Amino acid sequence: MLTILKTKRLPQSIQMDKKHFQNAGDRKNYTFNLVLNHGVVNNNISGSAVARDLTLELTNHEALKKLLVDEGYKFNMGKNFILNIAQI
């Protein structure tokens, strides 16, 4: 993720491994939308544990946190487990 944000070659799509998500927690829904504008969540993610977990991971990683503060990004994943990353 750091490499993708550093190179700013966006939008990008990454095929995620469904099994990793299922092993991490038994949830009914893994889809989410997350909008970070200058490092601050800009949409309601209270209904998505996956979006909340991703937010924690992104903001706890110092190098990623520095990149996120400078720009706005949208992260989303649908039922097909493809993570989309775009700059806003």
What is the tally of structural domains in the chain?
1
Residue 77: the pLDDT is: 97
Residue reference for tokens 């993610």? 45
**Which regions of the chain are under pLDDT 50?**
none
pTM: 0.90
Residue 4: the pLDDT is: 87
Residue 16: the pLDDT is: 94
Residue 62: the pLDDT is: 92
Contacts of 36 (CB under 8 A, 6+ apart): 42, 55, 58, 68, 72, 73, 74, 75
Residue 50: the pLDDT is: 92
Residue 43: the pLDDT is: 97
Contacts of 34 (CB under 8 A, 6+ apart): 41, 43, 45, 48, 51, 54, 55, 74, 75, 76
Q: Domain limits at 52?
A: 2-87
